[in-house]
Amino acid sequence: MSAVLAAEAASAPKPRASSSAAVVLLGTGVVGGAFLKLLNTPAAAALRLVGAANSRRQQTDPAQLADRALREKLRGQGDARDDAALLAALDASGAAVRVIVDATASAPLASRHVEWLARGYHVVTANKALAGGDLPGWRALQGAVAQGGRYGDSATVGAGLPVLSTLRRLRGCGDALLTLEGVFSGSLSYLFNQYDGSRPFSALLLEARERGYTEPDPRSDLSGEDVARKLLILARNAGFALRPDEVEVESLVPEPLRGVDVDAFLARLAELDEPLAARHAAAKARGGALRFLARLNQRGRARVGLVEVPAGHPATRLYGTDNQFALTTTRYNTQPLVIQGPGAGPEVTAQALLGDVLALL
Amino acid sequence: MSAVLAAEAASAPKPRASSSAAVVLLGTGVVGGAFLKLLNTPAAAALRLVGAANSRRQQTDPAQLADRALREKLRGQGDARDDAALLAALDASGAAVRVIVDATASAPLASRHVEWLARGYHVVTANKALAGGDLPGWRALQGAVAQGGRYGDSATVGAGLPVLSTLRRLRGCGDALLTLEGVFSGSLSYLFNQYDGSRPFSALLLEARERGYTEPDPRSDLSGEDVARKLLILARNAGFALRPDEVEVESLVPEPLRGVDVDAFLARLAELDEPLAARHAAAKARGGALRFLARLNQRGRARVGLVEVPAGHPATRLYGTDNQFALTTTRYNTQPLVIQGPGAGPEVTAQALLGDVLALL
């Protein structure tokens, strides 16, 4: 079979030979690092890295950019951060397609996306801060896209699971979203897929944190804010121009633990246990289970929080850090269109970024 | 909220004003009829129908094409079928984008797709006979696409569930399919989602036929050939250039019932019951269930047939006529990427055709 595979690979979909792109990468954390690895694979042969930056340093020297240890070296070497020099490197590349890949979570960087689009650069991003930020920013983004700017946002929701593309495709065909429901956080998916009351929630949380499933400060996950941002992006793509404060968010972080520093929070983690144990027991007594769900209805009401779902609910059928997105539309109305799978992780997120860059060719 | 919705609709993704397409529709059955309805919606404003044909007659007169009763009128009126006249209507349209939409299941028509692509027409199809047909046809299609022809095939698998697009996107990023498993037939999904041994399988089948869930001759579904064709299309898109006879197919039609006419088959339907009842009972005794699955592994082995799956298997969690596609890849390897939902029906299939046409603009 390998001969057949090799033969077929030659006719696999690929960028047209005539097109190539110059790429600047912002952010060399876990996602940016995975993206750099992908750039060194044959799938990215049409792409040329002309700049890379972390939050403090950057590199535009081709020899340095080709160094496999680029990410590590940027920690101590390179030029000071300077957007203008990165854009100049894109311009100097002579490439017709010039792409800025934002693999950070920086709000200041996201606030520049619209300007970059307006100046003719394409933006591909895992950074949710613009599309999932305030409404004027979203509207400015829509304006830039209407002027022909192309914005690759697959990595902002579900780490590239084909949710945004599907939603936009259905909408482009005149279909309308009736309800959207799902589990949009890998860490919260894991926690509630695992939590069965036999161990304290805090013990499970610490274990998840050690495995790298949560942010270093788990309150980023537990607050529901990350889920709310994803729901906001989906809702806006479904036609609901919601403000962030229109998404109702239930935080799992008790009020007294919200203002303290990370160490203090981790030291007092056991304060989470009793309320959750009580809710779990009550749900279990009724044959249900707890899941952290995001929901949008056809009137644009958006809510994120812990929900008791009945046995057999689709969200009870998830494993590991799976995300799940169930779309009921005018035409998908007998059963929802469901997309689920790993919705977090550097490798799939980086692949989503690469897919969006390749789609520009 | 409606004001917000209306405002946002203006900035919804839509075809650029400068581009439009001329469309010829082949086939005015249930899918073609649903497509005609979609052409009369705002989502299709950029499309102009310049020809429509059923298997015997066609129409290229704008006044007739604009008639809402076009489909019915074509049964008794119109010109005799003539591809050349339809292509001439596309050429005469002056449109830069000329699209032939094949909503038939005709193998002779599918055999012309490659020629049409070579002549500069785009082809959008629900017809599986080329991509799921013999290997030389598939290779010719790949050749035409490599030359720049664009082939919209979303409707051939899962009635437009975003499976082929996802598979191609992953592959374009250098990801490789390890296993593909799923339920690819709406009728077989329904039959085995329902079948619990309490009623004879034949009674359930007749009921499904009356509801329009099966083909008029249910052997088209029960033979597994339709599922095999979809698996072939998916396998080829995953890089396995399989011949049709390389897909192992288990037919649910007993040997003696394969050659008889439809009425005789329907009269002898009860002959299906005992073997299935025995298999169901055996599966149930082991805590399992029967599902009609398609499977492809990383060595390109493809099989379609009835499988006893354990309780909790994803395929046991389907409702109605849902299809399900589970993709395990190099990068989606801890849990599969799963896409499920209604995988049959005129409305969603027609929407898939429309989406592929709009993607050409």
Q: For residue B273, what is the domain's CATH number?
A: 3.30.360.10
Of the pLDDT bands very low, low, confident and very high (cuts 50, 70, 90), residue B19 is confident
Q: Which residues of B touch A317 (CB under 8 A)?
A: 314, 317
**ipTM, interface predicted TM-score of the complex:** 0.93
Q: Is B1 domain-assigned?
A: no
Nearest CA in chain B to A340: B338
**Are B191 and B316 part of one and the same domain?**
yes
d(CA A343, CA A322): 6
**Are A190 and A133 part of one and the same domain?**
no
Is residue B53 predicted with pLDDT exceeding 70?
yes
Is residue B196 predicted with pLDDT exceeding 80?
yes
Q: Which of B11, B166, B319 sits opposite A142 (nearest CB)?
A: B11
Among the listed residues A310, A251, A323, A317, the one whose alpha carbon sits nearest the alpha carbon of residue A283:
A310
Among the listed residues B228, A46, B225, B323, the one whose alpha carbon sits nearest the alpha carbon of residue B236:
B228
**pLDDT on residue B312:** 85
Q: Is residue A230 annotated as part of the catalytic site, yes or no? A: yes
CB contacts under 8 A, B 302-321 vs A, are 314, 317, 319-320
Within A155-239, residue ranges assigned H as helices are 163-172, 186-194, 201-210, 219-222, 225-237
**Are B157 and B171 part of one and the same domain?**
no
Are B174 and A42 an interchain contact pair (Cβ–Cβ within 8 Å)? Answer: yes
pLDDT tens track for B63-96: 999 999 999 999 999 999 999 999 999 999 999 9
d(CA B33, CA B266): 28
Q: Which domain holds residue B178?
A: 164-342
The token pair at B228 is 């095999």
Among the listed residues B168, B348, B140, B323, the one whose alpha carbon sits nearest the alpha carbon of residue B230:
B323
Are B174 and A43 an interchain contact pair (Cβ–Cβ within 8 Å)? Answer: yes
Nearest CA in chain A to B299: A1
Of the pLDDT bands very low, low, confident and very high (cuts 50, 70, 90), residue B3 is very low
d(CA B138, CA B132): 8
Q: What is the mean pLDDT of chain B?
A: 93
**pLDDT on residue A18:** 52
What phi and psi values does residue B19 have, to the nearest 5 degrees?
Answer: -110, 140
Give the distance from residue B289's alpha carbon to the nearest chain A alpha carbon, in angstroms.
Answer: 17
Q: How far is CA B68 from CA A101, B37, B43, B72, in A?
A: 48, 8, 17, 9
Contacts of B267 (CB under 8 A, 6+ apart): none
**pLDDT on residue A4:** 37
pLDDT tens track for A34-46: 999 999 999 999 9
Are A173 and B354 an interchain contact pair (Cβ–Cβ within 8 Å)? Answer: yes
**Are B110 and B196 part of one and the same domain?**
no
Q: Is B3 domain-assigned?
A: no
d(CA B140, CA B269): 41
Strands B288-296 and B177-183: antiparallel
Q: Is A8 domain-assigned?
A: no
Mean pLDDT, range B104-121, rounded to an integer: 97
Among the listed residues B120, B87, B339, B147, the one whose alpha carbon sits nearest the alpha carbon of residue B234:
B339
Per DSSP, the three-state class of A313 is coil
Are A342 and B337 an interchain contact pair (Cβ–Cβ within 8 Å)? Answer: yes
Q: Is B44 domain-assigned?
A: yes
**pLDDT on residue B9:** 36
Q: Which residues of B touch A161 (CB under 8 A)?
A: 337
Q: How far is CA B219 from CA B199, B205, B213, B275, B279, in A?
A: 20, 11, 13, 16, 19
Q: Are A256 and A271 in contact (CB under 8 A)?
A: yes
Are A11 and B143 an interchain contact pair (Cβ–Cβ within 8 Å)? Answer: yes
Q: Is A7 domain-assigned?
A: no
pLDDT tens track for B239-298: 999 999 999 999 999 999 999 999 999 999 999 999 999 999 999 999 999 999 999 999
**Are A282 and A294 part of one and the same domain?**
yes
Are A4 and B347 an interchain contact pair (Cβ–Cβ within 8 Å)? Answer: no
Among the listed residues A318, A337, A356, the one whose alpha carbon sits nearest the alpha carbon of residue A155:
A356
Work out how many domains chain B is built from and give that number: 2
Tell me whether B256 touches chain A (CB under 8 Å).
no
Q: Is B253 domain-assigned?
A: yes
pLDDT tens track for B140-167: 999 999 999 999 999 999 999 999 999 9
Q: Which of B4, B5, B341 sits opposite A336 (nearest CB)?
A: B341
**Are B185 and B334 part of one and the same domain?**
yes
Amino acid at site A352: A
Are B161 and A336 an interchain contact pair (Cβ–Cβ within 8 Å)? Answer: no
CB contacts under 8 A, A 22-41 vs B, are 38, 41
Q: Is A6 domain-assigned?
A: no
CB contacts under 8 A, B 51-110 vs A, are none
Q: Which of A240, A241, A341 sits opposite B335 (nearest CB)?
A: A341
Q: For residue B94, what is the domain's CATH number?
A: 3.40.50.720
Other Cβ atoms closer than 10 A to A1: 14
Q: Which residues of A touch B143 (CB under 8 A)?
A: 11
Cα dihedral A28, A101, A113, A322 sign: negative
Are A175 and B351 an interchain contact pair (Cβ–Cβ within 8 Å)? Answer: yes
Tell me how far apart the terminal alpha carbons of chain A are, to the nearest angstrom.
31
Chain A to chain B Cβ contacts (< 8 Å)? 148
Cα dihedral A304, A306, A310, A311 sign: positive
Amino acid at site B261: D
Other Cβ atoms closer than 10 A to A8: 20
Are A1 and B171 an interchain contact pair (Cβ–Cβ within 8 Å)? Answer: no
Tell me whether B147 touches chain A (CB under 8 Å).
no
**Are A307 and A352 part of one and the same domain?**
no
Residues of chain A with pLDDT under 50: 1-17
**Are B52 and B68 part of one and the same domain?**
yes
Q: Are A330 and A11 in contact (CB under 8 A)?
A: no
Q: Are A290 and A307 in contact (CB under 8 A)?
A: yes
Contacts of B184 (CB under 8 A, 6+ apart): B157, B158, B226, B227, B230, B231, B294, B323, B325, B343
Q: Which residue has the tokens 């680029």?
A: A70
Q: Is A28 domain-assigned?
A: yes
Q: Which residues of B touch A319 (CB under 8 A)?
A: 335
Nearest CA in chain B to A355: B173
**Are B156 and B169 part of one and the same domain?**
no
**Are B187 and B269 part of one and the same domain?**
yes
Q: Are A346 and A334 in contact (CB under 8 A)?
A: no
Q: Which residues of B touch A335 (CB under 8 A)?
A: 319-320, 322, 341-342
d(CA B244, CA A36): 40
Catalytic residue among B14, B37, B73, B230: B230
**Are A125 and A169 part of one and the same domain?**
no
Within A212-335, residue ranges assigned H as helices are 219-222, 225-237, 262-267, 273-285
Q: Which residue has the tokens 């269109």?
A: A337
Tell me whether B18 touches chain A (CB under 8 Å).
no
Are A174 and B44 an interchain contact pair (Cβ–Cβ within 8 Å)? Answer: yes
Q: Which residues of A touch B7 (CB under 8 A)?
A: 241
Tell me whether B5 touches chain A (CB under 8 Å).
yes
Catalytic residue among A14, A37, A230, A284: A230
Run of H or E including B125 = strand B122-125
Run of H or E including B22 = strand B21-26
**Are B185 and B242 part of one and the same domain?**
yes
**pLDDT on residue B18:** 52
E-only strand ranges, A27-152: 47-53, 57-59, 79-80, 97-102, 122-125, 151-152
SS (H, E, C) B135-204: HHHHHHHHHHHHCCCCEECHHHCHHHCCHHHHHHHHHHCCCCEEEEEEECCHHHHHHHHHCCCCCCHHHH
Q: Are B316 and A316 in contact (CB under 8 A)?
A: no
Tell me whether B248 touches chain A (CB under 8 Å).
no
**pLDDT on residue B16:** 46
Instruction: Name beta bridge partners: A308.
Output: A290
